[in-house]
């Protein structure tokens, strides 16, 4: 890490540490309904919008189990709000090399370098992108798919679970559940292709689904919080659509998005949250460019024989994961299968607006504008939100994060005019307004209806997503 980058991160760290406790993970309906990281969770089973509760309860069985492994041990499966209705959760853990049994170049049989791509990209741009790609995989701990959970009508079972025991509340799926004898990189990839893919194919063939949603949450969300948010967002979206018109099969990712999330010390939790910012920024990119890419661009299209609309959804650092997955499809050595997703919605992105730039002054950034692939994907509508009330993204003083006011202003530069369409919106735009947004550009909505960085679970967000899906992801 350069001295400049370290100093900027230190300044951001100090800014967040002296700010209000809920700032970087804020707030509003998200906190009231899903709570925050840790073993104490909201106690109420039903929370009416706007009337959240401060009562909490202690999760059973959570002590001594890694918070990004809770799902495999059935820690919170008795709580209805913390389950998907229908879908899967694919869970990544960070493992050291002696456990994952793979070296730092384990991605190369799956991913090409940017220099290998048959595209008209300047050599210096490809080299810059490859430096970032190398950085993603040089962590002593790399990410591995260790467990996959299947949900049907709100009930969970372990589709792949190496932690399964006879007294585990998370029962194996019947049929199809597997118990790998190792938590290795190869076992994870094999589980995706040989366990998850056949199961997904069979469900889509026989199920009554209207959409497939690939989703990723961001920094500082343990497994329970992530899944609760997925469920709440889907429920709010369904309520805003005609009855029966939105029956999604959700494929959600969980990843090791913070340090010490289950600590009983608020100070340690906060220290782990803030201290992990640069590491977790890279982890989210790594999770997207490799595992997310395989799932979104190989497995889902292969299973989706009926051609259901595919929606990509990300929040905060989850937009890095989801965006890398969506826009890195050409890096797959086997190539992508089928068309790309119909709609991508990135909520309050914690990444630079320059990711959508190009090789021109004022639009380059220092990452080689890795999301510029949206220009080659006319089938995919990309919609991004920013908010003047987002108090988390502006703390990233090293970059104009797209979910911040600074990002909004940078996106207004003349050099971005044919790349990004900016839409100020005090209220949720109508479907007619959305339909008028120009094609061929990413649309950045300055969302006055988003009251904070994590204000993504309320009815307004449900209406926003419902209208986007109606306009851009309907058959």
> Which neighbouring-strand residues pair with 248?
211
Determine which helix (DSSP H) or strand (DSSP E) holds 249, and give its type and residue range: strand 248-254
Are 148 and 160 in contact, with CB atoms under 8 Å apart? yes
Q: 222-238 in b/e burial notation, b at 16+ Cβ within 10 A?
A: bbbbbbbbbbbbbebbb
d(CA 63, CA 101): 27
Q: Is the peptide bond before 367 cis (omega within 30 degrees of 0)?
A: no
- What global pTM score does this model have? 0.92
Percent above pLDDT 90 for the chain: 63
* SS3 assignment for 330-368: HHECCCCCCCCCCEEEEECCCCEHHHHCCCCCCCCCCCC
- Per domain, the residue ranges of the chain are 3-472
| Whole-number Cα distances in Å, 55 to 43, 220, 257, 351 | 5, 21, 25, 34
> Which neighbouring-strand residues pair with 420?
442
d(CA 1, CA 131): 13
Residues 277-288 pLDDT 10s: 888 899 999 999
- Ranges under pLDDT 70 in the chain: 1-31, 39-40, 43-57, 60-62, 99-104, 262, 264, 273, 393
Would you state the pLDDT for residue 14? Answer: 47
Residues 105-151 pLDDT 10s: 788 899 999 999 987 788 889 999 999 999 998 888 889 999 999 99
- Supply 358's token pair: 């190009």
Would you state the pLDDT for residue 103? Answer: 62
């Amino acid at each position: 890490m350069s001295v400049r980058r370290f100093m900027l991160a230190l300044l951001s760290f100090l800014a967040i540490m002296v700010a209000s406790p809920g700032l970087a993970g804020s707030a509003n309906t998200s906190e009231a309904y899903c709570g925050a990281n840790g073993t104490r969770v909201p106690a109420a089973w039903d929370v009416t919008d706007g009337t959240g509760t401060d009562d909490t309860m202690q999760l059973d069985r959570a002590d001594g189990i890694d918070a990004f492994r809770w799902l495999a041990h059935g820690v919170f499966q008795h709580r209805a709000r913390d389950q998907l209705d229908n879908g899967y959760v694919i869970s990544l853990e960070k493992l050291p090399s002696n456990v994952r049994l793979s070296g730092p170049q384990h991605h190369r049989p799956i991913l090409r370098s940017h220099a290998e791509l048959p595209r008209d990209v300047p050599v210096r741009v490809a080299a810059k992108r490859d430096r970032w790609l190398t950085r993603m995989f040089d962590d002593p701990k790399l990410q591995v798919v260790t467990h996959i959970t299947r949900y049907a009508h709100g009930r969970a079972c372990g589709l792949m679970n190496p932690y399964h025991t006879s007294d585990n509340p998370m029962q194996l799926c019947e049929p199809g559940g597997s118990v790998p004898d190792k938590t290795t990189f190869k076992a994870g990839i094999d589980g995706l292709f040989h366990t998850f893919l056949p199961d997904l194919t069979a469900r889509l063939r026989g199920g009554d689904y209207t959409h497939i949603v690939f989703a990723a949450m961001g920094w500082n969300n343990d497994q329970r919080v992530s899944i609760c948010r997925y469920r709440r967002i889907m429920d709010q979206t369904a309520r805003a659509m005609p009855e029966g018109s939105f029956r999604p099969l959700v494929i959600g990712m969980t990843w090791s998005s913070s340090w010490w999330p289950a600590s009983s010390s608020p100070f340690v939790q906060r220290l782990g949250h803030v201290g992990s910012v640069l590491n977790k920024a890279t982890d989210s990119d790594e999770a997207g460019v490799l595992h997310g890419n395989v799932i979104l661009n190989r497995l889902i299209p292969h299973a989706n024989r009926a051609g259901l609309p595919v929606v990509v959804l990300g929040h905060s650092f989850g937009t890095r994961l989801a965006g890398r997955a969506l826009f890195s499809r050409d890096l797959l050595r086997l190539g992508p299968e089928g068309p790309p997703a119909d709609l991508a919605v990135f909520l309050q992105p914690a990444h630079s607006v320059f990711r959508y730039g190009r090789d021109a002054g004022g639009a380059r950034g220092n990452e080689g504008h890795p999301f510029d692939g949206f220009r080659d994907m006319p089938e995919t509508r990309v919609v991004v939100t920013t908010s003047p009330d987002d108090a988390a993204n502006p703390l990233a003083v090293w970059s104009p994060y797209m979910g911040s006011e600074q990002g909004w202003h940078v996106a207004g530069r003349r050099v971005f005019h044919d790349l990004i369409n900016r839409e100020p919106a005090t209220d949720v735009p109508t479907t007619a307004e959305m339909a008028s947004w120009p094609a061929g550009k990413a649309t950045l909505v300055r969302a006055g209806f988003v009251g904070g960085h994590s204000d993504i679970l309320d009815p307004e967000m449900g209406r926003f997503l419902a209208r986007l899906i109606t306009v851009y992801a309907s058959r």
